């Protein structure tokens, strides 16, 4: 017997946390019945699990990819909000993005079907450093780097410090660990800047390098 959310994550539906949300939202059926109870256990060899009307089957091969996300693509398995980044990857197995880059951002994104790996990468306790190259509408004031490093408040919550490692006129490199929605754009907006371009260039030890826009490659979990 296995917990339903663990089965879904291991089958490549989404991260463990996202699978829990799908269950509580009534999106998952087991043997024809909607299951909304977290912790519900199934027999993965006997029970029929469905998501979006299609059977969910266990995945034996774990897949780990890095892609250079282009502008205009959404980090979702669904294309309901725009072109999905998954459309760029020519493989048959079901995979999903680990974390997000908003539609207006580019750069390094991890794709996988390993729910435990995705959960570890995104969990605050294990969150990897993420490095961004940001282009602004005006020259960056070094005093604002101190404000980012002190930890700014967003939606009533004080966030972890953001490290500024390089400033060249209107271009700045930032390192952070949290993944709050549109965090960089919103914080820099508070400081009076408009973000013209935002590119993620590193996750943990894995760098974007010379991977071209829209291209992807196989990686190993240890690369991060």
State whether residue 73 is helix, strand or coil. Answer: strand
What are the pLDDT digits (tens) for 36-63?
989 899 988 789 999 988 898 876 688 9
Enumerate residues 6+ apart whose C-beta is below 8 A from 224.
Answer: 110, 121, 128, 203, 204, 205, 206
pLDDT of residue 180: 83
Return the residue matching tokens 């959310």: 5
Which H or E run includes 17? Answer: helix 16-24
State whether residue 216 is helix, strand or coil. Answer: strand
Tell me, yes or no, if 102 is annotated catalytic.
Answer: yes
Distance from chain centroid for Cα 76? 9
Report whether pLDDT(118) > 90.
no
How far apart are the C-alpha atoms of 104 and 106, rounded to whole Å?
7
Q: What pTM was computed for the model?
A: 0.77
Set out the domains of the chain in order of their start, with CATH numbers. 2-55 (3.10.290.10), 64-124+209-223 (3.30.70.580), 130-203 (3.30.70.1560)
Pairing of strands 163-168, 153-154: unpaired
- Please report the DSSP string for 158-193 in residue order: EPPP-EEEEEETTEEEEEE----TTHHHHHHHHTT-
Query: Which structure tokens are listed for 59?
Result: 């995945």
pLDDT of residue 117: 85
8 A C-beta contact, residue 19 and residue 29? no
Query: Which structure tokens are listed for 55?
Result: 């059977």
Using the 8-state DSSP alphabet, how is residue 119 labeled?
A: H
Question: What phi, psi does 25 have (nearest 5°)?
Answer: -85, 0
What are the pLDDT digits (tens) for 74-109?
987 766 677 899 999 988 788 889 888 999 999 999
Please tell me the least confidently modeled range out of 102-106, 113-117, 214-218: 113-117
8 A C-beta contact, residue 86 and residue 93? no
Of 102, 116, 144, 223, catalytic? 102
């Amino acid at each position: 017997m296995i917990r339903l959310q663990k089965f879904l994550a291991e089958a490549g539906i989404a991260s463990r946390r996202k699978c829990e949300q799908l269950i509580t939202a009534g999106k998952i059926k087991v043997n024809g019945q909607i299951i909304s109870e977290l912790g519900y256990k199934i027999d993965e060899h006997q029970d029929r699990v469905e998501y979006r009307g299609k059977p969910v089957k266990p995945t034996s091969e774990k897949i780990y990819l890095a892609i250079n996300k282009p502008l205009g693509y959404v980090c979702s398995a669904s294309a309901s909000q725009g072109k999905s980044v998954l459309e760029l990857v020519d493989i048959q197995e079901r995979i999903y993005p680990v974390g997000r880059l908003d539609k207006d951002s580019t750069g390094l994104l991890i794709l996988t079907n390993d729910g435990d790996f995705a959960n570890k990468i995104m969990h605050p306790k294990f969150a990897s450093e993420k490095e961004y190259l940001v282009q602004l509408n005006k020259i960056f004031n070094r005093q604002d780097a101190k404000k980012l490093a002190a930890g700014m408040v967003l939606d009533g919550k004080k966030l972890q410090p953001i490290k500024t490692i390089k400033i060249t006129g209107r271009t700045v490199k930032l390192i952070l660990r949290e993944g709050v929605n549109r965090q960089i754009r919103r914080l820099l907006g508070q400081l009076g800047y408009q973000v013209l371009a935002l590119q993620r260039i590193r996750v943990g030890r894995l760098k974007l390098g010379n991977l071209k826009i829209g291209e992807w490659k196989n990686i190993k979990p240890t690369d991060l």
